[in-house]
A and B are shown apart, each in its own frame.
Chain A
Amino acid sequence: MEKILQVIDLELSFHTFAGEVKAIRGVSFDLHKGETLAIVGESGSGKSVTTKSIMRLLPETSSEFKNGEILFDGKDLTSLPESGMQKIRGKDISMIFQDPMTSLNPTMPIGKQVMEPILKHQKVSKAKAKEVAIELLKMVGIPNAEVRYKMYPHQFSGGQRQRIVIAIALACNPKILIADEPTTALDVTIQAQILELMKDIQKKVDTSIIFITHDLGVVANVADRVAVMYGGRIVEVGTVDEIFYNPQHPYTWGLLSSMPSLDLEEERLYAIPGTPPDLLNPPVGDAFALRSEYALKIDLEQAPPMFQVSDTHYAATWLLHPNAPKVEPPATIIERMKTFRGSRYYEGTDGNLGGEA
């Protein structure tokens, strides 16, 4: 499959009064044409920072690329001058933000805000740009777009505002759309509508999407592939089925176990003990080791490399090393694995389409 974006061994730090915060510590992933890659992880795991660094939207004065490359269209975005980035932002790569209540300019009519990237990146007349903007607003489901075009953000509801933000992001048919928790600030019924809209649009405009979220329910709904981030690193990456039904990293087990399920009879919802690592002084080995009941001695001494599970599935845990002791995942995870054909707990027959359950 064609790779549209490659992030290679990216390291990024923030310089703060307390010292250097190593927010991203060697992240690598590829984004394929037309796919949706979900990046999941808890607050502070570096998922937002990773995507903001692709757009170079982090404050230039306090953030610094320490290592690595972001390859897009033959260019390394980490070293591109600001003027070069301005040509890419909004045109080739665009972004949807978390809170639609604050991400639109309150003193500018929404039509003008949608027109802006069109006028900026395409050589078209104002009248033409207006036409395109109204088309976009219609496409994202703003009723009566010709009239509402002149209205201000405060005259729209939260869900409608997010639709407008999506229209802005799509204005120039971007190759990559980065959605940074686009449904987190919306209520559940609106969340579902926005997710449907994004799936629809992806079919129509054939863009690749990086979808950041901490909501695994959303991931299952939209993603083709999933990258799990923890402590500034990707700890596991695979197709959505591989991550949900054959997870290998103890952190992924923890995440999946803490998801409420209708099938399970347990009364208490599982929570991962402890707190995320302090990235001012990141741990030497596996960042998750101190919170993991499956930690090995080597986890505290040396960071695990990525072990290959399948062509598409990789996980960074010493448990996958040939010499590692065999451990039993939590019961709920074993239940999941039983339905996945490639897993060691698979119970079905070979004819079963594993993972489709």
Chain B
Amino acid sequence: MVKYIGKRLIYMFLTMFLIATATFFLMQTLPGSPIASYNKLNESQRAIVEKKYGIDKPKPVQYAIYMKNLAKGDLGTSFVFKGKSVNDLLVNRFKPSFILGAQAMVFGTVVGILLGMLAALRQNTFWDYGSTFFAILGISIPSFVFASLLQYWIASEWHLLPVGLWNDGWKSSILPSIALAMGPLALSARFIRTEMIEVLNSDYITLAKAKGANGYEIAFKHALRNALIPLVTVLGPVAAGLITGSLVVEQIFAIPGIGEQFVSSIMTNDHATIMGTTLFFSAFLIVVIFIVDILYGIIDPRIRLSGGKS
């Protein structure tokens, strides 16, 4: 197990290195430059600014400097928010995004699992068709459409919750979290339904029945854990979906989160912030996938003890 985790950590660093390199050079191909918007500057002033940010040097040298700073954990200075380090920006912006993401993840998977179980236990009834319909809606309608609909009906028409912004405590987080949760919810519901139906037909469920277990014990004690195994493997990509979803949803609800900043940094060609945010998202995703793999072993003892499936 320790060896397995060590190996995984090495791969994770390697992945981060490749992502950093690829992002750095991809960004150089973007049209314009970070200081293109400083259009009031004359030639010599422009040269001073370029020198200050180190973008007058050849690209390989810039890359070497960037990687050196990155190794120290320094993501550089923002071009747009003058004098602010990218690290500070990320830390400030991280909290709302994390709250939204975590709430959406928990709400989406828990409700999705319950919905999927309901559909499987009441197969081919109203409940099954209802939950399937709901799940197909969740999969096919993008989160920004949900976000707009929620904003329109619940916030604007019925005045139940704030339309946007991050100034009303927990209330502000409800609508964006729900909008974000629809994807994971639908996906978990579909996965659990399919898997649960298969598990419920397996011999060990019949044996559990033969022991005198009731419906609740069969569903939660025996079937659920086995039905969760495939879902856990897709939770990594689900987390990825949440991140990309949050880019848009934060924009719609005007939430000062990391996604909102990411989008605006691209608009303003703020290289250091784009790099920093990309790396942050990548690191987040890699860590989530790592946790998912560990979780997989905890849920399925057959994998835990052999230390990796291969």
Contacts and interface: CB of A to CB of B under 8 A. Distances in A.
Q: Is the interface of B mostly helix, strand, loop or mixed?
A: helix
A107 B133 CA distance: 31
Interface string B55-92: 00000000000000000000000000000000000000
Interface in A97-149: 97, 99, 102-108, 116-117, 120-121
Contact of A108 (B202, B206, B222, B229): B222
Given A99-B203, A108-B222, A57 B300 contact: no
Contacts, number: 75
Interface residues of A, number: 30
A103 B204 contact: yes
Interface residues of B, number: 22
B207 interface: yes
A233 interface: no
A154 interface: yes
Contacts of B204: 102-106
Nearest to B209: A57
Interface in A160-180: 165, 168, 171
Nearest to B204: A105
A95 interface: yes
Contact of B226 (A55, A105, A168): A105
Contact of B212 (A90, A103, A154): A90
B221 to A, nearest CB: 8
A87 interface: yes
Given A108-B222, A152-B301, A154-B301, A89 B207 contact: no
A90 B211 contact: yes
A94 interface: yes
A95 to B, nearest CB: 4
A88 interface: yes
Contact of A120 (B206, B213, B302): B213
Interface string A67-94: 0000000000000000100111111001
A155 B301 CA distance: 10
A165 B305 CA distance: 23
Interface in A37-77: 55, 57
B207 A165 contact: yes
Contacts of B206: 57, 97, 103
B218 to A, nearest CB: 10
B210 interface: yes
A89 B222 contact: no
B225 interface: yes
B301 A94 contact: no
A315 B302 CA distance: 50
Interface string B290-310: 000000000111100100000
B222 A120 contact: no
B35 interface: no
B210 A89 contact: yes
A323 to B, nearest CB: 47
B140 interface: no
Contacts of B302: 106, 152, 154
A342 to B, nearest CB: 39
B204 to A, nearest CB: 4
Given A102-B202, A106-B226, A120 B211 contact: yes
Interface string A193-204: 000000000000
B196 to A, nearest CB: 14
Interface of B: 202-204, 206-214, 221-222, 225-226, 229, 299-302, 305
Given A95-B210, A107-B299, 16 more contacts: A55-B210, A57-B210, A89-B209, A94-B210, A97-B203, A102-B203, A102-B204, A103-B204, A103-B206, A104-B204, A105-B222, A105-B226, A106-B302, A116-B208, A116-B213, A117-B211
Interface of A: 55, 57, 83, 86-91, 94-95, 97, 99, 102-108, 116-117, 120-121, 152, 154-155, 165, 168, 171
Q: Which 8 A-B pairs have the closest CB atoms?
A: A90-B212, A90-B211, A89-B212, A102-B203, A103-B203, A152-B301, A117-B211, A95-B210
11 contacts: A57-B210, A89-B210, A97-B203, A99-B203, A103-B206, A103-B207, A104-B207, A106-B204, A117-B212, A120-B212, A152-B301
